[in-house]
Amino acid sequence: MTAPSCADCSATQAVDAGNAPVARQTLVELVRYFVASAIALGVDTGLYALGLRLHFGYPLAAVLGFLGGLAVAYLISVRWAFRTRRLGDARIEFVVFAVIGVLGLLLTESLLWLQIDVLAFGPLPAKLAASCGVFFFNFGVRKFVLFKALPPGRAPATS
């Protein structure tokens, strides 16, 4: 096999250079989304603990925590983590954001069942592994569906 010619190298570098800003922006958004998720987890956990302290019972406390964390994750995502928005109607955007979060919750439950009941992992390692996978699921789906740049000349969708 022969080494590529200089012309081949510059063509490859030109293509890579064109993708570099997109890849860099996606990495920045991934890190910012991680921060947003960590803050949302803190709110979720804090509201869960508050609900338990107020004797709401863990199912209601979990819902309270999930909703609070969801709201915080959405606000930080649209104001700081992501640079572009595909939808012009914030209400629809929030509903889609929440549906993706619920899908992530269902994925978490499925992964926990698989790891704990089928593969006999411990509950905590299973939760950590599931959380990592679901973080990337949520980021990827939200980025693609809600926060991916629109083609030039196309306005955000509204209803």
**What are the pLDDT tens digits along the chain (159 aa)?**
444 444 444 443 444 455 678 889 999 999 999 999 999 999 999 999 999 999 998 889 889 999 999 999 999 999 999 999 999 899 999 999 999 999 999 999 899 999 999 999 988 888 889 999 999 999 999 999 999 887 776 666 665
Backbone dihedral region for residue 108 (phi beyond 0: left; psi -120 to 50: alpha; all else: beta): alpha
Tokens representing 100 are 């993706």
pLDDT of residue 71: 96
Cβ(87)–Cβ(93) under 8 Å? yes
pTM of the model: 0.79
Q: Which long-range contacts (CB under 8 A, 24 or more apart) does 43-50 make?
A: 43/68, 43/69, 43/72, 44/68, 44/69
